[in-house]
Amino acid sequence: MELITIRELYRNKEQYIGKTVKVGGWVRSIRDSKAFGFIVLHDGTYFETLQIVYHDKMDNFAEISKLNVGSAIIIEGELVATPNAQQPFEIQAAAIEIEGASTAEYPLQKKRHSLEFLRTINHLRPRTNTFQAVFRVRSMIAYAIHKYFQDRDFVYVHTPIITGSDAEGAGEMFRVTTLDMDKLPMTKEGQVDFSEDFFGKETNLTVSGQLNGETYAMAFRNIYTFGPTFRAENSNTTRHAAEFWMIEPEIAFADLQDDMALAEGMIKFIIRYVLENAPEEMKFFNSFVDKGLLERLEHVMNAEFGHVTYTEAIEILEKNNDKFEYKVKWGSDLQTEHERYLTEEIFKKPVFVTDYPKDIKAFYMKLNEDNKTVAAMDLLVPGIGEIIGGSQREDNYEKLVARMKEMGLKEEDYDFYLDLRKYGSARHAGFGLGFERCVMYLTGMGNIRDVIPFPRTVNNCEL
Amino acid sequence: MELITIRELYRNKEQYIGKTVKVGGWVRSIRDSKAFGFIVLHDGTYFETLQIVYHDKMDNFAEISKLNVGSAIIIEGELVATPNAQQPFEIQAAAIEIEGASTAEYPLQKKRHSLEFLRTINHLRPRTNTFQAVFRVRSMIAYAIHKYFQDRDFVYVHTPIITGSDAEGAGEMFRVTTLDMDKLPMTKEGQVDFSEDFFGKETNLTVSGQLNGETYAMAFRNIYTFGPTFRAENSNTTRHAAEFWMIEPEIAFADLQDDMALAEGMIKFIIRYVLENAPEEMKFFNSFVDKGLLERLEHVMNAEFGHVTYTEAIEILEKNNDKFEYKVKWGSDLQTEHERYLTEEIFKKPVFVTDYPKDIKAFYMKLNEDNKTVAAMDLLVPGIGEIIGGSQREDNYEKLVARMKEMGLKEEDYDFYLDLRKYGSARHAGFGLGFERCVMYLTGMGNIRDVIPFPRTVNNCEL
């Protein structure tokens, strides 16, 4: 007889009640009296557990009653409706097989463990309620993102992880090498000879797929990337990891307005998808992790996002400078406190801030006609601050070259990028969504280490 | 007026014929006579092109007629049915705007370019027919894989890219470091001091997410990974890249039979998805890249895959040893020539080879009762050979430890992995699918460099 999942039992219970079913899973708790016992079983396919009732008519009654928490078992028995109990049904076991026992030393005993402790057992923590919920929702968000773009005929592009370009901020990049560190090859000039390295030159881990993504947008019109990116930042915060995933759509024949519409649609789509497909998990987060979560997400899903220019935003913020640690004026970069004030206190909903001063933004952003600001946008959401950053790209060859010169970038490092402006340039725009920040936003989890299966941070690369 | 995509025009043509539409795209070719001209337009959303007819009534007729191939333009005009032409419709342009011109030096002139040449312009080659087809199909295969697993409630797990484990074959791994190569910190003993490195120890790029994936299968029951993996192999072949993507599902309460059923279902699902969603691209491959492709894929989609044990396969192959460069006997690893002979000549369909000698397989594979073979499987397909490799995993703690000792592995490096066999061990199995090999299989493309947007191989890390 085939094993059935607990998810399937809940999904189509009418089909199974009164029938014999076979279920495999892990013991969450067990208690017995003289003649019978109860097992709470979890099989990893569904957030809710399944109650098993077993009797001393079973040959191995005593053995079963001695099982430790965490044991893997397979149960065959009748699924019985329990209209007066908390759960809609239970299994009256006819037979229980022990698949793999556990021990009294199993670290996940039936009690509440701190997130800090659970971080020390990354390989076991997905068996707890919190991480069952986090990582199933993480998986669903990833799929929702793919679905959003694929439903709209976007092409998914795998931009490279190893890159030979050190143009985007080499200080914060990880080097990739196969050179023998104990005997590095040297040039005649006494420098490390990277022509001996695997790729014949210096290489790093990518910090963004955007420039590569643009080359594909100019071929497929609408594309997105979804892959890992890396920052070797020596910062030990709850919001930074050295390895994280990014989504970077890029759309051609499109301007900043189109870009914002795409981002707004995506955020709403993801929220709707997760609320529909993981209601139990989301209820759990709302009860135990972040009390206002569901209300906030429903509000975001139904609100029309706000729009404000950076210049207008600064006017608003300057009037409230007494409330901020960092005082703002035109030209300042916005800090999280300012971002949250705008979205939480002023707009009370997600808001796009647009048209930032060119001096605090990247070289590739399209210069506005005022020659002072660029067609950039950040999306700020309540509870987080910035969740998305994007821009229309400079599509004019001369303006782009001038901007690169101003910023001290070498043209020859960007030949391929300039080619896009030589051969059929078209207005285009895109944005970046930090995947983990998105997972934190939808689950209410406060530490990035708790939304990544095996997090990598300074001095931490376990398993 | 909003731009419409060429894909949308083809998809719902009834809605648009006789109406005014606005389309943006790139000029594939252009020719004019005195009073009118024709443009073949491609917008990247659809494999087919769109014909534009324009007339000298337009003010910029002369300017348009001088456009170079590759120019980006925006056309407004009526979509007119052309029942007698090759294409179902064309646009009678009322106005054409030049979005971005091109030049006579544009490398993609209207002629056939070699794949070798196109590899030198990775940023432009996706604008050609071949690479439009390859990279749209690549995107669809990726989505089909996600859909297959998500429809079955598998949890997508992002296993780590940077890993501190060097246990899986350090010789072929890329090192990840932030140490200053010009002045490496040294220990008193004169060794490089990796405690000063970003993670406080030596780290590498992952070669497989399997062991991490197993920890999640023992929590969620059914999981899959889909991420980049790396091999620093110094091999310059048409089938090896230093950076490639892998899919690694892992299923608990499941054995080798379940594993093979999952793999067979996945391959058939992917093929069906691509044939349904990219018929034009697949027809193109069948006509211009690999003549037998469609027939082969249809056959695979409808055939029941064969099954043969390694021992039986060797018996068959030994009788044909005169046909092989490498002669086989029991204990030999199978080469591509043997694999292809089995699937193409003997079975004439995809075939699973199972139960390989333990000595040619990895330590974690489940030992069979004969104590000589392990519960491994390779899926061989016509035209390629091995496309999937998998196994049931050793779930018995003592047997796994014994096997690790035999192979000289240190238990302390695998504490987390052994924990899975201590606390509720359950039979489980999984496999690995090389994503690029899958794309080659479905498109008929012969060189892995031509199915990766920006390929990384020895001495090659461009863009």
Domains, chain A, ordered by start: 6-100 (2.40.50.140), 127-170+207-450 (3.30.930.10)
User: In whole angstroms, what is the distance from residue B108 CA to residue B125 CA?
Assistant: 8
Q: Give the HSE-up count for residue B85: Cα atoms under 13 Å, Cβ half-sphere.
A: 9
Q: Give the residue from chain A lying closest to B158, CA to CA.
A: A453
DSSP E strand boundaries for A136-180? 155-156, 162-163, 175-177
pTM over 0.95: yes
| Cβ separation A192–B182 shorter than 8 A | yes
Please say whether the beta carbons of A150 and A226 come within 8 A.
no
Quick one: what percent of chain B has pLDDT higher than 90?
94
Q: Which residues from chain B sit within 8 angstroms of residue A138, using beta carbons?
A: 156, 158
Instruction: Give the H/E segment covering residue A441.
Output: helix A435-443
Would you place residue A34 in the very low, low, confident or very high pLDDT band (cuts 50, 70, 90)?
A: confident
**Do A162 and B242 count as a contact with CB atoms less than 8 A apart?**
yes
Closest to B281 (Cα-Cα) out of B86, B81, B444: B444
Max CA separation in chain A (angstroms) = 86
* DSSP secondary structure of A61-91: HHHHHTPPTT-EEEEEEEEEE-TTSSSSEEE
- DSSP code of residue B435: H
Q: Say if residue A330 is exposed, middle or buried (CB neighbours under 10 Å; 0-12, 13-18, 19+).
A: exposed
Chain B residues with CB under 8 Å of A141 CB are none
- Which whole number is the average pLDDT over A37-41? 97
What pLDDT, on a 0 to 100 scale, did the predictor assign at position A171?
A: 62
B176 vs A: CB within 8 A: yes
Token pair of A252 as six digits: 């051609």
A184: nearest CB among B181, B221, B243? B181
> Rounded CA gap, A372 and A314, in Å?
15
Average pLDDT over residues A391-404: 97
- Residues B76 and B21 sit within 8 Å (Cβ to Cβ): yes
State pLDDT tens for residues A278-321.
Answer: 999 999 999 999 999 999 999 999 999 999 999 999 999 999 99
Higher pLDDT, B288 or A109: B288
Tokens 């990277």: give the residue: A194
CA-based nearest residue in chain B for residue A253: B24
Joined tokens for residue B312: 């039986």
Task: Express as a percent the part of chain A with pLDDT over 90.
Answer: 94
**How far is Cα A124 from Cα A108, in angstroms, rounded to an integer?**
8
Q: Which two tokens stand for residue A436?
A: 């983990």
**SS3 per-residue string spanning A321-360:** HHHCCCCCCCCCCCCHHHHHHHHHHHCCCCEEEEEEEHHH
CB contact under 8 A, A99 and B178: no
Closest partner residue to B192 among A25, A70, A182, by Cβ?
A: A182
How does pLDDT run across A43-97, given as a tens digit for each residue?
999 999 999 999 999 999 999 999 999 999 999 999 999 999 999 999 999 999 9
Q: Name the residue in chain A with its Cα closest to that of B452.
A: A158
Q: Report the chain B residue with the minimal C-alpha distance to residue A233.
A: B198
Q: Decide if A275 contacts A269 (C-beta within 8 A).
A: no
pLDDT value of position A111: 79
Q: How far is A338 from chain B (nearest CA, A)?
A: 32
CA distance A98 to A26: 10
Q: Give the model's confidence band at A110: pLDDT under 50 very low, under 70 low, under 90 confident, else very high.
A: confident
Q: How far is A320 from chain B (nearest CA, A)?
A: 40
Does an H or E element contain A37, and which? strand A36-42
**Is A100–B453 a contact, with Cβ atoms under 8 angstroms apart?**
no
- Asked if residues B385 and B339 have their Cβ atoms less than 8 Å apart, the reply is yes
Radius of gyration over alpha carbons of chain A, in Å?
27
Q: Which of A156, A228, A232 has the CB atom closest to B227's CB atom?
A: A228
Tokens 């605090």 belong to which residue?
A360
Smallest CA–CA distance from B191 into chain A, residue: A182
Q: Is the pLDDT of residue A354 over 70?
A: yes
Q: Where are the beta strands (DSSP E) in A89-152?
A: 89-100
The CA distance from B202 to B195, in Å, is 8
* Residues forming a β-bridge with A434: A246
Q: In the prediction, which pLDDT does B309 show? A: 98
CB-based contact, B244 to chain A, within 8 Å? no
What is the separation of C-alpha B191 from the centre of its chain, rounded to a whole number of angstroms?
40
- Element of type H or E holding B433: strand B428-434
Extract the tokens encoding A396.
């004019």
Contact A181 B175 (CB under 8 A): yes
Residue showing tokens 């620093």: B232
**Would you state the structure tokens that stand for residue A35, as one six-digit string?**
């003649």
CA distance B463 to chain A (A): 7
pLDDT at A168: 53
Set of chain B residues whose Cβ sits within 8 Å of the Cβ of A127? 218-219
Residue B188: strand, helix, or coil: coil
Residue A212 forms contact with B (CB below 8 Å): yes
pLDDT range class, residue B235, cuts 50, 70, 90 = confident
Measured CA to CA, the distance from residue A342 to residue A319 in angstroms comes to: 12
Chain B: nearest CA to A326, how far in angstroms? 30
Q: Cα–Cα distances in Å, from B429 out to A19, B233, B252, B310? A: 29, 27, 7, 18
Contact A45 B221 (CB under 8 A): yes
ipTM for the complex shown: 0.97
Binary contact (B230, A162; C-beta < 8 A): yes
Spatial contact of B93 and B58, defined as CB atoms under 8 Å apart:
yes
DSSP letter assigned to residue A393: B
What does the DSSP 8-state code read for residue A186? B
pLDDT, tens digit, 9 for 90 and up, residues A128-169? 999 999 999 999 999 999 999 999 999 999 999 999 976 555
Sign of CA dihedral B393, B395, B399, B402: positive
* B257 at interface of A, judged by CB pairs closer than 8 A: no
Residues B244, B231: Cα–Cα separation, whole Å: 9
Number of CB pairs < 8 Å for A and B? 326
B199–A100 CB contact, under 8 Å: no
3-class state of residue A307 by DSSP = strand
Decide if A198 touches B, using CB distance below 8 A: yes
What are the two backbone dihedrals, phi and then psi, of residue A176, each rounded to the nearest 5 degrees? -115, 125
